[in-house]
A and B are shown apart, each in its own frame.
Chain A
Amino acid sequence: MAAGRALRLRGMIRKETLQILRDPSSIAIAFVLPVVLLFLFGYGVSLDSYHVPVGLVIEAPDAATASFRGAFEHSEYFRPVLYRDIRAAEADLAAHRIQGIVWLRADFERRVLAGDGGAVAVRVNGVDANQARITEGYIQGAWLHWLEEHAGVPLRGARLEPRVWFNAALISRHFLVPGLIAIIMTLIGSLLTAMVVAREWDRGTVEAMMVTPLHIGEMVVGKLVPYFLLGMGGMLFTVALAVWQFGVPLRGSFALLLGSGALFMLVALGMGLLISILAKNQFVAGQIAIVVTFLPAFILSGFLFEIRAMPVPIQVLTHVVPARYFVAILQSLFLAGDVWPVVLPNLGALALLALLLFALVRKKARKRLA
């Protein structure tokens, strides 16, 4: 009996593996898309602005404005563009040629630096609010720094001494690339699995397979193992690229990463299997998988957008998005280390979801048609 079971499992696993390797659409999802995503997020997408084009309107050049200009020119955050006249600068701001304007009026040195209450007007293009805020922050920082270092203005009041832990240089790639692991594993575990399993229904091969001694549990396990390995392979590939190519630090333990990855993979596979069992049709399975697994993993997981910034009902909704828990684990393991108070509850949630999904799969999977 045990020998028969091993034989049947071997047959299923071998078949699935061969099918993945021979089907161009599997290869597209399992290999091409992850690489495209990795390179887009590794190289393309970034929330870090450098060399922001900022207009410096200097109405009356003198020593103070020259030193101020120098501060901007030497900063990697800015690419200053000089104007003599505010109107020309405003026209360029409207035309998106510059992101912001710092307007040093003719009375800059006389009034502003003398401290008689004048202000330096700063304009930013607020369409992209996030970028606008970042630009404002840069300008503010540069301004305070310049005042202290170069203008010799006595400062008083509360001063912030910020220290950013885990990602001192505020490099967005360092949090985007680890989060991408969850996206890629969702692609393989849910989208690919849903479509491939649904294909068996489309092509009518399920019928022949059912009328064999194969047990339903063996069928599920036989299907899972190759995709599990493929997903873990995708994860290792991404981790390797993240660490060696994109320079993301891995501060936590590799074993913990592997373990939580395996648990998440089970959850992703459970979703994929469940979708394919319910849809029984490749096309519908693919659609559902994209809407139910891929998009939420992208938007609702904290991968790109902060969950704590979402409205409360949406925050509640994110609790059923498995990627949410894994992204939290990934960002901690990579950037902070083995922070058990973060890892444990998230692992627990994943384990709960895995149990729930496989209970559902078990309930819905039948060796029956209709």
Chain B
Amino acid sequence: MTESVLEFSGVRKVFRAGKARVVALEEVSFRLRPGVVTGVLGPDGAGKTTLMRLAAALLVPDAGRVRVLGHDVAAEPQAIQSVIGYMPQRFGLYEDLSVQENLDLYADLQGIPARARRARYDTLLHMTGLGPFTRRLAGRLSGGMKQKLGLACALLREPPLLVLDEPTVGVDPVSRRELWAIVDAQVREQGMSVLLSTAYLDEAERCAEILLLEGGRLVAQGSPRAFADEVAGRVYVLAGVDLPPRRLQRRLQAVPGIVDALLVGDHVRIVTAAPRPPALQAHFPDQPGLRLVPVSPRFEDAFIARLATRGAEGAGAPPPAPPAPTRAAPPPAGTAEDVVIEVRDLERRFGAFRAVRGVSFTVRRGEIFGLLGANGAGKTTTFRMLCGLLPPSGGTARVAGVDLRHAAARARARIGYMAQRFSLYGNLTVAQNLRFFAAAYGLAGARRRARIDWAYAEFELGRYRDFVAAQLPLGFRQRLAFAAALMHEPEILFLDEPTSGVDPLARREFWQRVNALVEAGVTVLVTTHFMEEANYCDRLVIMAEGRILAEGTPAALRARFRTPQNPEPTMEDAFIGLIEEAA
């Protein structure tokens, strides 16, 4: 059979938003390799979701052709939709139906005969580990379980082509690992072809083939290995350095010729612009023992190198300037008595459900303290209790010596808060948002103008001044939210999932800013489900099911899972290890 599973030829797709025309895809052509997993990668707004929807015949191309299993999406959408499996971004589940009812619904819709159902359900429920939860409402499942249920619904009739749109977003590492196991098994046993989009760069390594999208164009197609080879000889790990890794990373970012400097485990990994080692000695005269150890490149290195080079060519995005030192500049890295946040035996129940169970930890001045865990682990609930947004059912949470729930307005003026999803007034402009938050924090007159000007300069928001916040690119929304939280130069920063959904480049920039603030004496409490970001924290707790599984420095936590087979465990390995220990 010469007919390919999925074929795009010269595809163009344009959306109209009001008067504006947005080109989502332009001149996209490829043939899907059958029987393997193909990953679709790219920054936000690159056209990933549009491509997935075209493949599912939910959209019709404005130019070019899309053929799926021999059918044209414009002519025979139903023929395509009747055979392929598709999981949209939010998993397509009915949250007010139970697990079993969702399965029954999709089995009915897909015409699975009653006889065949039992066996198929058993296989899928076993594979996804959802067996014990069949009567639970889908809305009450954790993110990982929802994702697996969504996948099970898409797999009910063993489709020849499976289309998964960002199936792993916001899902904990254990569930991600399980999802990949299920997908790999389908590919292996059924010869299924899988098209999968993802924002996690480490997942690219698991794909047999990568489609790299940028600005609506397909810029490259190939195996992850082929991508990594682009940066062969340009990736090194620094050794023999006597500096905290975070400070080292910060200094490296200022060195010309280095496109990426990333904390990996205890090391700093760099990608250079040219295939020769950079002359670092000139920049680090204080580090005579500094050595560069060449390592084999990964897909992520190539991806960042591509984006960074492109960004530098463009008009915007100059290298981030070091942030202005903040007003609060107390002694760095606190001593034991310098406790800023103290949490003791914190409890929170919602009805019979115990969302947080006896959580205790302390955060010292000038620390980055992380709350790590999957969705539903209780980190956001803990976080909200700390900020005084939710009354605890038991225990205490004190910030700067006071309970924020009953604190005077003055105490709240000392904290900055960045909510999940970068909560801004979406229909106000950037300038209006900044003015409002400055006033809300009690700034007035010259000081307010000065801080707003600072925000424009520091976050490069000046040219977006009159843009409506909701229409900003996600990375800029994140910057605006961060700027709003910093308006009043707070001593303590609360960041709830500050990097969720933004692309890797914006994440790196964000952490650079946080590092600079911490060096100026600000205390930061951050929640994240990106395991690799844990390396930015001084100390962290890992939470699961409302409990703290472990507490310590990232290095110490990783070290617990060092084995002969895995001498360099990642944070993800540590996390999975801890979950398995707890189970």
Contact = CB atoms under 8 A, between A and B. Distances in A.
Do any CB atoms of chain A lie under 8 A from CB atoms of chain B in the complex? Answer: yes
A11 B96 contact: no
Contacts of A214: 109
A368 interface: yes
A23 B88 contact: no
Interface residues of B, number: 38
Contact of B105 (A3, A15, A22, A203): A15
Given A18-B96, A208-B88, A213 B53 contact: no
A36 interface: no
A207 B59 contact: no
A209 B59 contact: no
Nearest to A218: B109
Interface in A1-23: 3-4, 7-8, 10-12, 14-15, 18-19, 22-23
A211 B86 contact: yes
B108 interface: yes
Nearest to A369: B58
B101 to A, nearest CB: 6
A367 B57 CA distance: 9
Interface string B78-111: 1001101111111111111100010011111111
A369 B53 contact: yes
B537 interface: no
Nearest to B154: A208
B284 interface: no
A207 to B, nearest CB: 4
Contacts of A18: 96-97, 101
B94 A213 contact: no
A370 interface: yes
A210 B58 CA distance: 8
A12 B78 contact: no
Output the residue of A8, A12, A370 with the most chain B CB within 10 A: A370
A207 B81 contact: no
Contacts of A211: 56-58, 81, 84-86, 163
A205 interface: yes
Interface in B247-302: none
Nearest to A15: B105
A15 B101 contact: yes
Contacts of B96: 18-19, 22-23
Nearest to B165: A207
Interface in A202-254: 203-205, 207-215
Contacts of B92: 204-205, 207-209
Contacts of A369: 53, 58-59
Contacts of A213: 78, 81-82, 109-111
B89 A204 contact: yes
Contacts of B154: 208
Given A204-B90, A207-B58, A367 B109 contact: no
Nearest to A368: B58
Contact of B111 (A4, A22, A205): A4
Given A208-B87, A209-B92, A213-B82, A11 B108 contact: yes
A54 to B, nearest CB: 57
A18 B100 CA distance: 13
B9 to A, nearest CB: 20
A15 B101 CA distance: 8
Contact of A209 (B53, B78, B107, B109): B109
A204 B95 CA distance: 11
Contacts of B60: 368
A116 to B, nearest CB: 77
Nearest to B89: A204
B153 interface: yes
B117 to A, nearest CB: 11
A7 B107 CA distance: 9
Given A203-B90, A211-B84, A368 B77 contact: yes
B15 interface: yes
A210 B60 CA distance: 14
Contact of A212 (B53, B82, B88): B82
Contacts of B94: 15, 19, 205
A3 B113 CA distance: 9
Contact of B153 (A3, A8, A208, A368): A208
A210 to B, nearest CB: 6
B141 to A, nearest CB: 15
B58 A212 contact: no
Contacts of B82: 212-213
A205 to B, nearest CB: 5
A8 B97 CA distance: 17
Nearest to B16: A370
Given A208-B87, A210-B81, A11 B93 contact: no
B509 to A, nearest CB: 30
A7 B109 CA distance: 7
A213 to B, nearest CB: 4
Contacts of B108: 7-8, 10-12, 14
Interface in A47-85: none
A36 to B, nearest CB: 24
A251 B482 CA distance: 71
A11 B53 contact: no
A11 B107 CA distance: 8
B90 A11 contact: no
Contacts of A203: 90, 95
Nearest to A208: B92
Output the residue of A8, A15, A22 with the most chain B CB within 10 A: A15
A316 B150 CA distance: 51
Nearest to A367: B77
A368 B54 CA distance: 10
A196 B92 CA distance: 16
A211 B106 CA distance: 10
Nearest to A370: B59
Contact of A367 (B78, B89, B104): B78
Contact of A14 (B15, B81, B105, B153): B105
A21 to B, nearest CB: 9
Contacts of A7: 108-109, 111
Nearest to B110: A212
Contacts of A368: 58-60, 77
Nearest to B55: A211
Nearest to B102: A15
B401 to A, nearest CB: 42
A15 B92 CA distance: 14
A19 B98 CA distance: 11
30 contacts: A3-B111, A4-B111, A7-B108, A7-B109, A11-B104, A11-B109, A12-B108, A12-B109, A15-B97, A15-B105, A18-B97, A22-B96, A23-B96, A203-B90, A204-B92, A205-B94, A207-B56, A207-B86, A208-B86, A208-B93, A208-B153, A211-B84, A211-B85, A211-B163, A212-B82, A212-B109, A212-B110, A213-B111, A367-B77, A369-B53
Interface of A: 3-4, 7-8, 10-12, 14-15, 18-19, 22-23, 203-205, 207-215, 367-370
Interface of B: 15, 53, 56-60, 77-78, 81-82, 84-97, 101, 104-111, 150, 153-154, 163
* 4 closest residue pairs by CB, A with B: A208-B92, A11-B108, A211-B86, A213-B82
Given A19-B96, A211-B86, 10 more contacts: A10-B108, A12-B109, A205-B92, A205-B94, A210-B56, A211-B85, A213-B110, A214-B109, A367-B57, A368-B59
